[in-house]
Every structure is written in structure tokens, then in C-alpha cells.
Amino acid sequence: MSRSLREVVFVDGVRTPFGKAGPKGMYAQTRADDLVVRCIRELMRRNPGLPPERVDEVAIAATTQIGDQGLTIGRTAALLAGLPTSVPGFAIDRMCAGAMTAVTTTASGIAFGAYDVAIAGGVEHMGHHPMGEGVDPNPRFVSEKIVDSSALVMGSTAENLHDRFPHLTKERADAFAVGSQDRYAAALAAGKIGPELVPVAVRSAEQGWGLATEDEPPRPGTTVEGLAGLKTPFRPHGHVTAGNAAGLNDGATGCLLAAEDVATELGLQIGMRLVGFGFAGVEPEVMGVGPVPSTLKALASTGLTIDDIGLFELNEAFAVQVLAFLDHFGIADDDPRVNMWGGAIAVGHPLASSGVRLMTQLSRQFAERPDVRYGLTAMCVGIGMGGTVIWENPAWEGEK
């Protein structure tokens, strides 16, 4: 029996405000799974044309799959959100690219015809579950020199990237970080940041109940001079600081994916169309360079070139890894196509959730940019990987 693949579309995406991890963060006494539930409920509320029973799968990513991020969180969050018991769900882990992989995995099922509609997203409560909690790396990784000992410390891998590409200086990283903060602040003031946010009820034993409506991590007014004197915790006299890297954060994301014909049938919006994707492995000790080969792979599989890409949403785990990507493809540090509304250095990076944040922003940017046909979301991934997803703008004026 022959099959033809179906077009897959990104319908809608939402996220919670991102918080600072730790006892003083706004989500310190909020459960991780409740953050995901808010995203699922909001997706259903915003898309009333979608009958809940038409959701065929819920895929939710978490890097640390224990505690309130465990118990097959895709299934449990679906039940807690009030979806019918007939809707299945599962958990997924590709570290920082968890939500991205939740999207590509369910999108592949839609293209194949196994699903019509799926919800994909991710969560990370780094205040409850610090990176590496409960992990027991096999000692052979180091004893047999399968990886360098620095490969398991993400900040050290960023320092290694500075070593490998010495022209990617701390000064360039700091300048890029300031640009991220400035672009986020400008987008926030212009109302670009906010429509995708889901308010979350939060509780504090000292202050009682409140409502999280804004991102907690941004540091408006950051200057290059202010970043220059920050400590370099991963290496004496190093390059990586709290100012040119994403922080430790809590938050969740969710998005709605569908076959294009089903979206049309149900009257759902079409935010963007999936073109292709690629994941690639690199040396774990320089994991930040991962988006370069994953992007080359995605471009090759789609027949596109980097010149076809009009908008880039790159995850800013560390400024140096974005700079490595930009340098490889001959893109200027301050290219206006890159992270138009700022990135993770400003807004935060709750690990497994971030991929859908990138996609949600790209989708909303597409709606404002009918001159752009293709956009790209990409990120580096711990243990030496990169992930890239290429999207097409349905509002592209060339189709009219």
C-alpha cells in the first residue's frame, strides 16, 4: 500500500512566564506538572474549534524526569488538564531540545497519518530539579576517554568553544548578550512579548497567592561595561559568565500541531508549515557547535540554502554557541534576522521547554513578515548534539 505524506502545520503556541530557579523564584512552590497543565488548557481555550477528543497525542519533554516532572508527564498532564481519557500521552527527553523533539516526533506521526492533531511541549523546573539531579554517569565515559571530563558541565563546554574558536572573544559574547537584553526589552515595550504568555497562579508561604504574568529573568539596562567584571565560574580568567549565558530557570511551553487539511476542516489558524528538520551529533565537550551540522543536515534534506532563511530563532544557551553558528554561516553578530525579540540570555532557558518558545516566536513573527518565506529554529543540546527545524510562512506574499 502506497502512502503520501501530509503537510504538517504549527497552529498555535503558548508558554508560561519564565521564572528564576531557586527558593526566591516565583515558581518555588508551584509544581512543574501544573505549569504544563496551564499550557494545555490555554491551547484548548484559544482554539475552541478543536474538540478535545480530536487530540490524538500529547508529548511533553523534561530533562529531569523525576518528581513532579516524572510519571510519564505527557499522559498525566493531559489527564490533569481535563482532556478525555481516550487521549494518550508520553514523556520525551533530548535535554535542551526536548520540546523540539516532541514537535518533530509528533509532526512525523501526523505526516505519516497516525495522528491528525497533537499537543507538544516541554517543562523544566530547575528550582525543584537542578541539572544532573539523580544522574549516575557511567564511569567508562571518562575512564575510557569516550568524552572529555568537561563534557558533562555545560558551562565548561562553552569555555571549550571559546578555546576552539579564539576569535569568539568574551567581548563579542558580552556585546551579543547586551543585544539580547535590548531586543527583548524593545519587544516587550512594543507588545511583541506577552500575547503568548499564560498567566499562572503562584503561591508563597510568606506572601500568599499571586499571579505570574511576566518573565522574571530579564535584566533591562545591561551594559557591556557591567558584564565585563562578572566572575567566570567555570574557569579562572575565563569567558563565560552569568551575563553572557542563559540562567537557571523554571517554565513550560506547549503548542498545537495538525495536518493542514484537518486544521482547515476545523477552522484552526495556520501559523507556519513544517518544511524539514535535522538532528546531529558533535563532540560532547563542544556541544555548543551542534546547531551547525544539524542545520546543514536540515538544509540538505529540504533543498534549501542558508540564504533562503529570512528569520532565525536560535536558542541562546551561551552567547558563544550562537556566535559559532553565525560565524560558520557568515552572518553578522547583530543581523536583524536573528532573534528579533531577544533570546534565552534575556528571557531564560528552562531546558526542555525552550524549543517551543523559539517556534512560537517565529510563528508570530511570520504573521508580521509576509516578505519572509522560510524561518529556522535551532539549538545546541547537551552531550554533544544540535537540532534544527525549518518552517515556511503561510503568509508569504509570494504565494498571493
- Positions of E strands within the chain: 8-15, 19-20, 57-61, 89-92, 117-125, 200-204, 208-212, 249-259, 272-281, 309-314, 374-381, 385-392
Q: Report the alpha-carbon distance of residue 195 to residue 214 in Å, rounded.
A: 11
Catalytic residue numbers?
96, 349, 380
pLDDT tens sequence across 33-73: 999 999 999 999 999 999 999 999 999 999 999 999 999 99
Distance of CA 171 to the CA centre of its chain: 26
Contact 30, 67 (CB under 8 A): no
Contact 252, 15 (CB under 8 A): yes
Q: Report the alpha-carbon distance of residue 13 to residue 261 in Å, rounded.
A: 19
pLDDT tens sequence across 319-333: 999 999 999 999 999
Task: Read off the pLDDT of each residue in 219-236 and give the average, rounded to a whole number.
Answer: 96
- Name the DSSP class of 244: S
Task: Read off the pLDDT of each residue in 207-228 and give the average, rounded to a whole number.
Answer: 96
Task: Read off the pLDDT of each residue in 196-224 and give the average, rounded to a whole number.
Answer: 95
pTM of the model: 0.97
- 399 pLDDT above the threshold of 60: no
Nearest 10 degrees: Cα torsion 193, 197, 200, 204: -20
Q: Is 131 exposed, middle or buried (0-12, 13-18, 19+ CB in 10 A)?
A: middle
Q: Is the model more confident about 231 or about 399?
A: 231
Distances (CA, A) of 355 to 119, 169, 221, 361, 379: 14, 27, 26, 10, 8
